[in-house]
Structure 1
Amino acid sequence: MPETPYSPPDLSLRGDEHVRAYRESRGERGYIWNGVPILLLTATGRRSGRPRTSALIFGRDGDDYLIVASKGGAPEHPEWYRNLTAHPEAEIQVRDRHIPVVARTAGEAEKPRLWSIMTEVWPNYDSYQARTERPIPVVVLTPP
Structure 2
Amino acid sequence: MTQDQQAGSRGGRRPGSPGALSRWVQRRMNARTNTRIRRGRSRFMGMDVLILHTVGRRSGQPRQTPLAWFADGEDARLIVASGGGTRHPDWYVNLMAHPDRVSIESPGRDAVPVTPQRLDGADREQAWQRITDAQPRYAKYQGKSDREYPVIRLTRR
Asked whether the equivalents of residues 37 and 106 of structure 2 are also in contact (C-alpha less than 8 Å), the reply is: no
Query: Which contiguous aligned blocks of 4+ residues in structure 1 show a shift greater than 3 angstroms?
Result: none
Partner of 1:45: 56
Q: TM-score with structure 1 length normalisation?
A: 0.82
Secondary structure of 2:58's counterpart equals coil
| Alignment deviations for residues 4-55 of structure 1 (CA, whole Å, 9 cap, x no partner) | xxxxxxxxx94221012223x1xx13x1111210011001110111111111
User: Which among 111, 114, 120 is matched to residue 107 of structure 1?
Assistant: 120
How many positions carry a matched residue from both structures? 127
SS in 2 for 1:71: coil
Q: Which residue of structure 1 lines up, in the alignment, with residue 144 of structure 2?
A: 131
How far apart are the structure 1 equivalents of 2:91 and 2:138? Answer: 17
1:81 aligned to 2:92? yes
Q: Please state which structure has a larger fraction of its residues in helix.
A: 2
Whichever residue aligns with residue 46 of structure 1, its letter is: R
What is aligned with 2:23? Answer: none
Q: Where does structure 2 lack aligned partners over 5 or more consecutive residues?
A: 1-27
User: Which of 47, 65, 78 matches 1:54?
Assistant: 65
Q: Relative contact order (C-alpha < 8 Å, sep 6+): which is higher?
A: 1
Worse overlay, 132-141 or 88-97: 88-97
User: Where does 1:59-74 land on structure 2 (aligned, <5 Å)?
Assistant: 59-62=70-73, 63-72=75-84, 74=85
Deviation at 1:60, TM superposition (A): 1.1
The one-letter code matched in structure 1 to 2:37 is Y
User: In terms of Rg, which structure is larger?
Assistant: 2
Residue 120 of structure 1 corresponds to 133
3-state secondary structure, aligned to 1:110: helix
Distance of 1:95 and 1:110 partners within structure 2 = 28
Return 120-129 or 56-65, whichever deviates more: 120-129
Q: Aligned-pair distance for 1:116?
A: 1.3
Q: Distance between the aligned counterparts of 2:152 and 2:126, measured in 1?
A: 13
Residue 96 of structure 1 deviates from its aligned partner by 1.8
CA contact (8 A) 1:64 1:143 kept: yes
Rounded to whole Å, the distance in 1 between the matches of 2:103 and 2:78 is 13
Aligned partners of 1:79 and 1:113: how far apart in 2?
Answer: 25
